[in-house]
Amino acid sequence: MSRSFSTQSTGPFKGRGVTAVLGPTNTGKTHLAIERMLAHDVGVIGLPLRLLAREVYDKVVARVGAGQVALITGEEKIKPPSARFYVCTVEAMPRELEADFVAVDEIQLAADAERGHVFTNRLFHARGLNETLLLGAATMRDAIRELLPGANLVSRPRLSQLSYAGDKKITRLPRRSAIVAFSANDVYAIAELVRRQRGGAAATRKSRSTRTATWTSWWRPTLSAWALTSISITWLSPAFANSTARPTAISRHRRSARSPAAPGAI
């Protein structure tokens, strides 16, 4: 099915019809957006990362079939002729499609020095004909209230509990930990250290094929740790490396009320 798409908001009430779902990570915001999108005839969701877009695309395909879902990123373009749902990176969201539903994830990136102009444009102009969701951190509450008068602001609680576990040596982290570094060089250096000390480490950045293969390797029982630049995996023991490569560990505990279908991220 093909329809022409508009992302222009009109009139002084720019927030009319917009719902901003705000809260910390692991609150089920993306899961909510997927469910809301599937309730409409035509929907578009913009996501901040290519890997996350691919993950959401796979989830939607599993629900409605590959023939109804398009994936549009800087690396991939899968556009079936009868696509109803468009899963995109925010930069690649179609500009000329009339969609009943539009969602933009991680809207707080409007403050980012490099990508902020794209998210700001979507903040003001990305609109669904029937429903618009802006997903992001609670730090955007005041900005959205001021910039989009009339928007409905919704807070969501975290679905799991995080606690600070203190500084730990990399070699003493629990098995199947994820170590988040902040540069490509640090990612590979930490992964090599874990391999030498304990074996079974994986490192990820850059190409889609490499990221996909590394994602699959996470489920190998021999893997001790995963060094990477971001986390979007459920039930990890994550640690954040600083400049001295001494990670700060974050302990994550599942809340029993959580639905197993809801995606988790940290």
Domain spans of the chain, in order of start: 18-155, 160-254
Please say whether the beta carbons of 51 and 209 come within 8 A. no
Is 60 exceeded by the pLDDT of residue 208? Answer: no
* pLDDT score, position 58: 95
Measured between alpha carbons, how far is 53 from 243 in angstroms, rounded to an integer? 30
Residue 210 has pLDDT above 50, yes or no: yes
Whether the per-residue pLDDT at 151 is higher than 90: the answer is: yes
Highest mean pLDDT among 34-38, 199-203, 219-223: 34-38
**What strands lie across the sheet with 43-47, from one edge to the other?**
77-78, 69-72, 85-89, 43-47, 101-104, 131-136, 18-22, 152-155
**For the domain bounded by 18-155, which CATH number is listed?**
3.40.50.300
CB 191 within 8 A of CB 202: yes
- Residue 102 is given by DSSP the state E
Average pLDDT of the residues of the chain: 77
Q: Are the C-beta atoms of residues 126 and 33 closer than 8 Å to each other?
A: no
| pLDDT reading at 247 higher than 50 | no
Contact status, residue 202 vs residue 223, Cβ threshold 8 Å: yes
Instruction: Give the bridge partners for 78, in sequence order.
Output: 71
pTM of the model: 0.69
% of the chain beyond a pLDDT of 70: 68
pLDDT at position 1, please? 42
Residue 37 pLDDT more than 70?
yes
- Angstrom distance (rounded) from CA 24 to CA 33: 15
Q: Is 9 helix (H, G, I), strand (E, B) or coil?
A: coil
Nearest to 15, CA basis, from 136, 123, 139:
123
Mean pLDDT of 213-232: 51
**Is residue 26 over pLDDT 60?**
yes
Of 142, 89, 140, 86, which is closest to residue 112 (Cα–Cα)? 140
Report whether pLDDT(221) > 60: no
The pLDDT of residue 100 is above 90: yes
Is the pLDDT reported for residue 223 higher than 70?
A: no
From CA 116, how far away is CA 108, in angstroms rounded? 8
Task: Tell me the mean pLDDT in the region 122-150.
Answer: 94
Q: Name the amino acid, one letter, at 211.
A: R
pLDDT given at position 196: 78
